Each structure stands twice: as structure tokens, then as C-alpha cells.
């Protein structure tokens, strides 16, 4: 429940900027597999990519990480970032792309409020691909709060949804 000190309700996370070891390898994944488009490239050191012509949703750079290794387990850093798809059909299409590219999922969950696919990019950054359910379909606790949960996601049904209008 918002309080007078709450952040504005329409505030959103604007973009993510990732350090990568190999820019071309990262672009092969984010553009070649997921379907983002390059909006600007700064030589071999950085690129900005988007969906739908926005200036950028994801920045990729090798400024401090060219040839680097992912952080070791047990260290702090990014757990994952999430890419919100507009609907279930578009998320199903993303799953189809991952399968075609031989990308292994770390997990797939139904959270009641959303459906999500979890994976790693080539630099081992955690990536969540998800779509929200309409708020009217979110599960609620007896006191009216949102009651998220984690159940296994039916991947066959999600793939079937890819054939529906996006």
C-alpha cells in the first residue's frame, strides 16, 4: 500500500547496462537469439540494443570486462534482470527461439502474477523472460495482498501459446 513517502507509482526501471567479455558473442545472443535490434554501436567496445526502436533497453560493453570471467559464486552482483514480454504468445515465441538456439533454461515458473523463463546469457548473467497476467487474475491472500507463489510452468502450453496472435 503506497504511503506519502512511496516512490511515484508510474516509476519504471528504464534499462540495464551489462559488462560483457565479448561484444559480438553478446550481440549474437541478445540480437540473434532473443531478437533485439542494435540502435547504436561504438566500435568493438559497446552496443545499445532495443525492442521496437526505443533508444536502448540493454547496453553491452567491454570497457572493464573484455576477455573477463563471470563473477565467482558467493560474490555480490547482479542476480538477474528481467525482460517483460507484452503477452503470453510473445513469451512462447521467446521460448521457441531459445529451444531453436539450444539455450538451456535454469528454470521456468508460474508465479500466479506472471509466467517466467530463467536462463543465463553467454557471460553467465541471469536473465528472466516473463509476461504478467492481468492484475484482475492475480492471486490474493485473505487480507487482500498479492499472494505470489512458485509452481512449475507448463512449457508445452507456453509453446502452444506462441501460435496465438501476439
Using one digit for the tens of pLDDT, what is the confidence trace for 18-71? 999 999 999 999 999 999 999 999 999 999 999 999 999 999 999 999 999 999
Beta-carbon neighbour count of residue 53 at 10 Å?
7
Cα-based distances in Å from 136 to 12, 28, 70, 72, 146: 21, 38, 40, 41, 11
Beta-carbon neighbour count of residue 117 at 10 Å?
25
Distance CA 70, CA 68 (A): 7
Question: pLDDT over 90 for what percent of the chain?
Answer: 85
Is residue 166 over pLDDT 90?
no
Going by pLDDT thresholds of 50, 70 and 90, the confidence category of residue 9 is confident
Distance CA 6, CA 12 (A): 14
Structural domains present in the chain:
14-66 (3.10.180.10), 79-166 (3.10.180)
Amino acid at each position: 500500500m503506497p504511503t506519502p513517502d512511496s516512490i511515484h507509482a508510474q516509476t519504471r526501471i528504464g534499462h540495464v547496462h551489462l559488462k560483457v567479455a565479448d561484444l559480438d558473442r553478446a550481440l549474437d545472443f541478445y540480437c540473434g537469439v532473443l531478437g533485439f535490434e542494435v540502435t547504436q554501436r561504438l566500435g568493438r567496445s559497446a552496443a545499445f540494443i532495443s525492442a521496437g526502436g526505443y533508444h536502448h533497453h540493454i547496453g553491452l560493453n567491454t570497457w572493464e570486462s573484455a576477455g573477463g570471467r563471470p563473477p565467482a559464486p558467493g560474490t555480490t552482483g547482479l542476480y538477474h534482470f528481467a525482460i517483460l514480454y507484452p503477452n503470453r504468445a510473445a513469451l512462447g515465441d521467446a521460448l521457441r527461439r531459445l529451444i531453436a538456439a539450444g539455450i538451456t533454461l535454469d528454470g521456468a515458473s508460474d508465479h500466479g502474477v506472471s509466467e517466467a523463463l530463467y536462463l543465463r546469457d553467454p557471460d553467465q548473467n541471469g536473465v528472466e523472460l516473463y509476461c504478467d497476467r492481468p492484475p484482475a487474475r492475480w492471486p490474493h491472500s485473505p487480507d487482500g495482498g498479492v499472494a505470489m507463489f512458485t509452481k512449475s510452468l507448463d512449457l508445452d502450453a507456453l509453446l502452444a501459446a506462441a501460435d496465438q496472435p501476439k
